[in-house]
Structure 1
Amino acid sequence: MKEAWTLIKEQIQNIGIIFRISRYEDKAEYQSHYLGLMWEYLYPLIQIGIYWIVFGVGLKHGNATHGIGYLPWMVIGITPWFFMNRVTLDASKSIYERVGMVSKMKFPVSILPTIKVVSNLTTFWTMLVFTILIGLLNKVYPTISWFEWIYYFICMIAWLIAFGIFNSTISVLIRDYKILLQSLMRMLFYLSGVLFNFQTNAFPAPMVRVLELNPFFYVVNGFREAMFNQGHFWEQGTLNLVFWGFVLFFLLVGSHLHYKFRSRFVDLI
């Protein structure tokens, strides 16, 4: 627990550095491209268009989900997923890619995964605005439950920081872990309720209960329930405990491994 508190304090004490480096990374990543940062927004929009045509028009024939059009239902789920997927993969490589910075200067290495969280926030906010516009065009209007997005946003950030510090450390210790994580995230894309609703009679009840324990599903489904006013987070007693249990577990294990091996990162890489 002491190591987890140390990790949290490092994030708070270096918040200025986190935002400065994240802004630099945003500009540096696409500086050689003609459209520059526009790709941050074009890529997810292209992906949304493809998934809507294939799953919304092709397979579902535009059918509604719980009385809600498939397009707004899908977009509100895919928005946090795109963010979490990219941050998870970027954070897992954050220490490995910054070995030069780690070896040549005194630097709070634990903030590297958090930098990846912050650097991707611009795309997330843009996608959320796009989601709201899609909702309004499909007669989904704001309600008081939209304020619950604040809670699910906090959940999402907490989960990504905890999972990120764990993945970034394991990726240094075990080189093959990055490949395994990529495969896992591809599988979770279909098991997190992003493109289809598995909370139906088509799936066995025990299977649904297991899939609901997925932290990524908790966030995706939470954003959906808040937008469509289909429930409140305080009604999800067991799932709340399971989710925050996952966050605490990865935070404790990740911070322990991070501080145990941090002095050896350069040699391991």
Structure 2
Amino acid sequence: MKDAIIYIKEQFKYLRIAANLSKYSTKSTSMQNRFGRLWEILDPLVQLAINYIIFGILMHRTAPDGLPPLPWMFIGMGVYSFMQHVITTGAKSVTKQFKLTAKMRFPVSIMPTSSMIGFFTELFIMVGGGLFLAVFSGYYPSVYWLQFLYYIPMLIIFTLSVSLLCSSIEVVFPDFKFFLNYIFRFLMYGSGVIFDLGHFNVIPQVFIQAQLINPFYYLIEGFRDIAFGRAWIWDKGMFNLSFWLITIFLLIVAANSHMKIRDRISDYL
């Protein structure tokens, strides 16, 4: 628990540096492209357009409970893509940026945080696109939108915890990045991002119930609850508790793992 507190303090203390590093990294990458930073907006918009054509025009997807399928799917994709990109990029951030941190006076623990900041634009555009379509479908802004104040911090805390843990694993076991990609390919279909698993009769009911304690599913459905005014946080009861316990556990394990290898990262690399 002590290591987790140290880690949290470091994130707040060096947040400005993390933001500057993210800004520099994004600018450096953008300079290699003709459209520069415009791709931060174009890329998620193109993704939404492609999925609109495939699922909205060609396949005529359906969503659970009679909800409009496109905003339901876009919101899920936005939240999931944010978690996927932050975790996979954050997992590599320590090994890639260690030489930079060794020359500067800031802890290497802020590298996953720096990686996360750059993906907020994509999150806001994709989720915003889903919210826009939800409004267009008759689901207007309501008091349920106040739950953004809960779900966004929970999204950040959970994603950073997993990202930090994965970064420690990748330092010790570089091949982990391949397994991480396989895991996210499975989670794409196992967390209700595009398909509602309840529609598939071949899937045992025990697996359908098990996804309710999946943190990825919890966060995705939470953002959908906001858009469609389906439920309040307290309506989820024990699933709130299971999410908090899993997140706190991951944060403690991630912080402890990071602190144990921090002074030996150069030896591993």
Q: Which amino acid in 2 is paired with 1:182?
A: N
* Paired position in structure 1 for 2:187: 188
Contact 1:41 1:127 in 2 (8 A): no
Which whole-Å CA distance do the structure 2 matches of 1:214 and 1:63 have between them? 23
* Paired position in structure 1 for 2:108: 109
Which whole-Å CA distance do the structure 2 matches of 1:89 and 1:257 have between them? 18
**Where in structure 1 are there 5+ consecutive unaligned residues?**
none
Q: CA deviation at 1:123?
A: 2.2
**Where in structure 2 are there 5+ consecutive unaligned residues?**
none
Q: CA deviation at 1:222?
A: 0.5
In the TM superposition, 1:1-269 aligns within 5 A as: 1-59=1-59, 61-63=60-62, 65-200=64-199, 202=201, 203-269=203-269
Q: CA deviation at 1:218?
A: 0.7
Provide, for residues 80-132 of structure 1, a one-character-per-residue CA deviation record: whole Å limited to 9, x for no partner.
11111111111101101102213333331111111111121122223333222
Q: CA deviation at 1:144?
A: 0.9
Contact 1:102 1:266 in 2 (8 A): no
Which whole-Å CA distance do the structure 1 matches of 2:186 and 2:134 have between them? 28
2:66 is paired with a residue whose SS is coil
- Once the two structures are overlaid, the 10-residue window that deviates more, 43-52 or 235-244, is 43-52
Contact 1:162 1:250 in 2 (8 A): yes
Task: State TM-score, norm by structure 1.
Answer: 0.93
2:65 is paired with a residue whose SS is coil
Q: Say how many residue pairs are matched.
A: 268
1:230 is paired with a residue whose SS is coil
Which whole-Å CA distance do the structure 1 matches of 2:207 and 2:259 have between them? 37
Task: Classify 1:218/1:146 alpha carbon distance in 2 versus 1 (closer, same or farther; 3 Å).
Answer: same
Q: CA deviation at 1:164?
A: 1.2
Contact 2:44 2:125 in 1 (8 A): no
Which whole-Å CA distance do the structure 2 matches of 1:19 and 1:154 have between them? 17
1:66 is paired with a residue whose SS is helix
Which whole-Å CA distance do the structure 2 matches of 1:84 and 1:51 have between them? 19
CA RMSD of aligned residues (A): 1.7
Task: State TM-score, norm by structure 2.
Answer: 0.93
2:67 is paired with a residue whose SS is coil
Provide, for residues 151-207 of structure 1, a one-character-per-residue CA deviation record: whole Å limited to 9, x for no partner.
111110010111111011111011111111111011101111010112457344311
Q: Which amino acid in 1 is paired with 2:217?
A: F
Which whole-Å CA distance do the structure 1 matches of 2:265 and 2:81 have between them? 29
Provide, for residues 12-67 of structure 1, a one-character-per-residue CA deviation record: whole Å limited to 9, x for no partner.
111211121122222122211011122222222322333344344444x3445422
